[in-house]
């Protein structure tokens, strides 16, 4: 469902979640469906029907319940006057959301059940924040339609009403498409709601973590949930020397200097971002440290295992949760023993449950979200010292393993390392020594490592790489199922035996199964790079094969005081046309120049600088012939070759298959 609120016009559109049955209501002097709309809301209430929305809890549902509470007072008003009242209330809802204030109708006061997909996917979080229009772009919606009429406009014709409804209906159908993709998540939340008697239908993963951990801690500590939710530990200062674990020791001067720098740090917990930065160059590799994590990488390149060497990959199992459990840490306001017992219970229970069971995922959420919630002032886990205990000791512990490997294995080459693991190329004859070092580290830290081997690692830095694991033999049924679920893995059949090699895609090389809030622009680029390094296919040949126009598309956003315009020549005259805030386009041999223009000072920024022209593709049109798209392949080839050159350290005219 979705509402549109204009000065003198209100529209409401609903589509059944199982069928295409649609209800459309208009409240305007030219068409007044208000009584029918009220009857429909009464039906929803009496039949205990639900509304499924995008950002509905903060907007649409507020309007719904405001209308239900007040409609009897409006019996003598015209449709235009009713629409105006709703419009004014909608503006208040938006203002309250912007000010982060509480709304009039919390969920417990709502007589119509709500599933808010915006909240559920945590797209209200600053790091993931996504409008419905951006999600439309991300899921390749066929009609990325922006509201063509400003909400302050006075509607005067039936044609204008139809224009509003077209937009309204498009939003409802795209919301339904998100719902279709979210059925498993909703089913899980339904099960949790029924089990724990907590309304979790619109709950994000961090909220599920808070609610369920709170449920168990309330019982364990015999503290009412209402009191538990008010608990916090605030700190005036955090001294790193007081929180670094006693087993943290180094042998090299570089890392001992790092340890001394860490021990000297005293931080204001209200201002952690960027509060500490330090870099160490050890064995020729630069590693960067901060309060949040560590990352380092050797020079960009292709690293391969061979008969003499092997690339070892080692990750700490559930690193952050196990640091807490093994060291008996807790937020300052909780007894450490009880907190860690409960935390460890989640960890052990998860190990007993197969991954196919949704509760395995629930326990994973609880284990992983708790760390972030320890630095969230709105959470009863809040204790920034716990956050720092985890991140600082995590970095230093991992660097101990890094140093042990590099100091004790001759010719070891560090390829990359980040928050919870590292990749190292070592001589094959030292694999046993490598495993012995890892076991020694596990005994010292009381943590566990998971190991794997790469046959190839294509690296453009620690957060941007393609990793090809070793081949694994399976039966044909398993092989086919893995191929169906992970078509980007590498598969082969040899001597009537079936093999697959898992592929890990990271950062800007990731193109498979991207979350909807991520930017999927120019997927043709990472796909071509993947095919070049994994399947030995030249970029030009891959582009000849890939006829999916959406892989060539790019998403352009404008926010705040910025708008987008298309500039082009028509009939020998210069034309400038306003565009939507979010646009889908691709690079073409002819077309327009899309420019971001500041509405206040008229500054201009080209979305694609230089010679490149664009074709706006907000409304998807499937051409009968590929040539009709008029794609400028030179743009994409250039982007692909620049990335490959960056990895291989060669110029474009040297590009060949290795």
Tell me whether residue 412 is in a domain: no
User: pLDDT tens digits, residue range 517-564?
Assistant: 999 999 999 999 999 999 999 999 999 999 999 999 999 999 889 999
Is residue 115 one of the residues assigned to a domain? yes
Which CATH number goes with the domain that contains 96? 3.30.420
Which parts of 428-523 fold into alpha helices (H)?
431-445, 476-485
Strands laid side by side in the 582-588 sheet:
554-557, 582-588, 613-616
Q: How many domains does the chain have?
A: 3
Boundary residue ending a domain (510, 536, 561): 510
Residue where a domain stops, chosen among 510, 527, 558: 510
- Return the closest-CA partner of residue 336 out of 200, 181, 220, 444: 220
Helices (H), 114-270: 117-120, 132-138, 158-181, 183-196, 205-221, 225-228, 240-243, 253-263
What percent of the chain clears pLDDT 90, i.e. is strictly above it? Answer: 92
Least confident of 251-255, 609-613, 647-651: 647-651
Q: What are phi and psi of 401, to 5 degrees?
A: -65, -45
Residues 157 and 99 in one domain: yes
Strand partners, 282: 285
Domain boundary among 165, 190, 215: 190
CB 530 within 8 A of CB 505: yes
Instruction: Note whether residue 110 is domain-resident.
Output: yes
The mean of the pLDDT values for the chain is: 95
Give the confidence band of 356 by pLDDT, cuts at 50, 70, 90: confident
Q: Which of 294, 291, 321 is nearest to 385 (CA)?
A: 291
Element (H, E) at 312: strand 309-316
Percent of residues, the chain, with pLDDT higher than 70: 99
Residues 499, 567, single domain; the answer is no
Per 3-state DSSP, the chain is made up of helix, strand and coil in percentages (nearest 5) of 40, 25, 35
Rounded CA-CA distance 371/420 in Å is 14
pLDDT in tens, 223-234: 999 999 999 999
- Residue 649 is predicted with a pLDDT of 77
> Going along 460-581, which residue ranges are E strands?
465-469, 472-474, 490-494, 497-501, 503-506, 554-557, 562-570, 573-578
Gap between the terminal Cα atoms of the chain: 54
Element (H, E) at 402: helix 384-408
Q: Categorize the per-residue pLDDT at 650 as very low, low, confident or very high, splitting at 50, 70 and 90.
A: low
Is position 454 within any domain? no
Q: Specify the length of the chain in residues.
A: 658
93 belongs to a structural domain: yes
Query: pLDDT-based confidence at 652, cuts 50/70/90?
Result: very low
Mean pLDDT within 402-419 = 96
Confidence class of residue 276 from pLDDT cuts 50, 70 and 90? confident
Q: Is residue 452 classed as helix, strand or coil in its secondary structure?
A: strand
- What pLDDT was estimated at residue 370? 87
Shared domain for 493 and 565, answered yes or no, is no
Let me know if residue 90 belongs to a domain: yes
pLDDT exceeds cutoff 60 at 378: yes
> Which pLDDT does position 270 carry in this prediction?
85
Average pLDDT value for residue range 298-310: 96
Q: 618 and 494: one domain?
A: no
Q: How far is CA 459 from CA 299, 374, 468, in A?
A: 8, 33, 11
Instruction: Give domain status of residue 567, yes or no.
Output: yes
Q: Are residues 485 and 555 both part of a single domain?
A: no
The reply to whether 107 and 30 lie within a common domain is yes
Same domain, 15 and 126: yes
- The average pLDDT across 568-581 equals 91
User: What does each C-alpha distance from 404 to 246, 251, 286, 409, 418 come to in angstroms?
Assistant: 17, 9, 17, 8, 16
pLDDT digits (tens, 9 = 90+) for 96-112: 999 999 999 999 999 99
Report whether 238 contacts 384 (CB < 8 A). Answer: yes
User: What does the block give as tokens for 368?
Assistant: 């992983």
Q: Which domain holds residue 633?
A: 549-654
> Both 478 and 557 in a single domain?
no
Q: How confident is the model at residue 272 (pLDDT cuts 50, 70, 90)?
A: confident
Name the phi and psi angles at 415, rounded to 5: -95, -50
pTM for the predicted model, two decimal places: 0.92
Residues 20 and 128 in one domain: yes
**Helix H or strand E segment including 646:** helix 633-648
Distance, in Å, from the CA atom of 395 to the CA atom of 97, rounded to the nearest integer, reads: 38
41 and 178 assigned to the same domain:
yes
What is the per-residue pLDDT across 144-169, written as a single tens digit (0 to 9) for each? 999 989 999 999 999 999 999 999 99
Do 579 and 486 sit in the same domain of this protein? no
Q: Is residue 289 part of a domain?
A: no
pLDDT tens, residue by residue, 6-45: 999 999 999 999 999 999 999 999 999 999 999 999 999 9
Residue 174 CB contacts under 8 Å (≥ 6 apart), including other chains: 132, 135, 136, 139, 141
Q: Mean pLDDT, to the nearest integer, of 46-69? A: 98
Mean pLDDT of 314-327: 95
Q: What tens digit of pLDDT does each residue of 414-437 get?
A: 999 998 999 999 999 999 999 999
- Report the alpha-carbon distance of residue 350 to residue 358 in Å, rounded: 10
Cα–Cα dist 108/101, whole Å: 17
Shared domain check, 505 and 583: no
Q: Concatenated DSSP letters for 206-247?
A: HHHHHHHHHHHHHHHHT--HHHHTT-----S-EEHHHHS-TT
| Residue whose pair of structure tokens reads 């890892």 in the numeric block | 438
């Amino acid at each position: 469902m979705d509402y549109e609120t204009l000065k003198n016009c209100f529209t409401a559109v609903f589509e059944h979640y199982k069928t295409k049955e649609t209800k459309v209501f208009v409240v305007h002097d030219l068409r007044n469906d208000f009584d029918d709309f009220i009857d429909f809301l009464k039906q929803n209430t009496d039949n205990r029907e639900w509304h499924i929305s995008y950002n509905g809890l903060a907007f649409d549902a507020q309007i719904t319940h405001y209308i239900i509470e007040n409609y009897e007072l409006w019996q003598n008003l015209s449709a235009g006057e009713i629409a105006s009242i709703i419009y004014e209330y909608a503006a208040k809802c938006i203002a309250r959301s912007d000010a982060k204030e509480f709304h009039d109708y919390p969920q417990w006061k709502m007589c119509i059940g709500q599933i808010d997909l915006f909240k559920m996917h945590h797209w209200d979080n600053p790091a993931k924040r996504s409008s419905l229009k951006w999600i439309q772009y991300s899921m390749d919606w066929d009609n990325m339609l922006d509201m063509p009429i400003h909400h302050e406009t006075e509607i005067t014709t039936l044609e204008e009403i139809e224009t509003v409804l077209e937009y309204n209906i498009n939003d409802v159908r795209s919301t339904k498409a998100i719902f279709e993709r979210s059925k498993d998540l909703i089913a899980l939340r339904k099960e949790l709601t029924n089990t724990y008697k907590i309304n979790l239908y619109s709950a994000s993963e961090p909220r599920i973590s808070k609610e369920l951990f709170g449920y168990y801690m309330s019982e364990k500590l015999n503290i009412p949930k209402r009191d538990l939710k008010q608990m916090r530990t605030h700190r005036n200062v955090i001294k790193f020397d007081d929180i670094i674990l006693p087993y943290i020791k180094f042998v090299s001067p570089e890392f001992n200097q790092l340890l001394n720098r860490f021990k000297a740090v005293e931080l204001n917990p209200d201002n952690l971002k960027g509060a500490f930065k330090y870099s160490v160059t050890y064995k020729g590799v630069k590693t960067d440290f901060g309060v949040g994590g560590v990352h380092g990488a050797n020079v960009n390149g292709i690293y391969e295992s061979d008969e003499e060497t092997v690339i070892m990959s080692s990750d700490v199992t559930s690193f952050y949760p196990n640091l807490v459990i093994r060291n008996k840490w807790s937020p300052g306001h909780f007894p450490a023993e009880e907190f860690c017992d409960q935390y460890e219970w989640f960890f052990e229970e998860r190990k007993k449950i197969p991954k196919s069971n949704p509760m395995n995922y629930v326990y994973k959420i609880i284990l992983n979200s708790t760390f972030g919630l320890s630095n969230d002032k709105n959470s009863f886990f809040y204790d920034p010292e716990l956050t720092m205990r985890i991140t600082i000791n995590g970095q230093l512990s991992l660097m101990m393993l890094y140093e042990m490997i590099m100091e004790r294995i001759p010719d070891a080459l560090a390829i990359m390392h980040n928050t919870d693991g590292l990749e190292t190329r070592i001589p094959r004859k030292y694999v046993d020594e490598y495993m012995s070092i890892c076991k020694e580290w596990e005994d010292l830290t009381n943590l566990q490592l998971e190991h794997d081997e790469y046959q190839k690692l294509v690296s453009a830095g620690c957060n941007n790489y393609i990793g090809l694991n070793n081949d694994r033999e399976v039966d044909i049924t398993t092989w086919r199922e893995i191929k169906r679920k992970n078509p980007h893995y590498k598969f082969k059949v040899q001597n009537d035996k079936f093999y697959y090699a898992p592929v890990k895609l990271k950062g800007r090389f990731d193109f498979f199964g991207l979350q909807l809030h991520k930017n999927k622009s120019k997927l043709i680029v990472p796909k071509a790079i993947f095919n070049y390094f994994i399947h030995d296919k030249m970029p030009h040949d891959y582009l000849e094969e890939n006829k999916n126009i959406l892989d060539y598309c790019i998403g352009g956003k404008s926010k705040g005081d910025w708008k987008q315009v298309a500039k082009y020549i028509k009939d020998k005259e210069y034309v400038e046309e306003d565009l939507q805030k979010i646009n889908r386009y691709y690079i073409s041999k002819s077309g327009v120049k899309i420019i971001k223009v500041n509405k206040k000072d008229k500054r201009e920024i080209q979305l694609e600088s230089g010679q490149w022209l664009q074709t706006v593709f907000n409304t998807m049109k499937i051409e009968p012939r590929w040539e009709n798209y008029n794609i400028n392949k030179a743009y994409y080839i250039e982007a692909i070759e620049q990335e490959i050159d960056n990895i291989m350290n060669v110029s474009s005219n040297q590009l060949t298959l290795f």
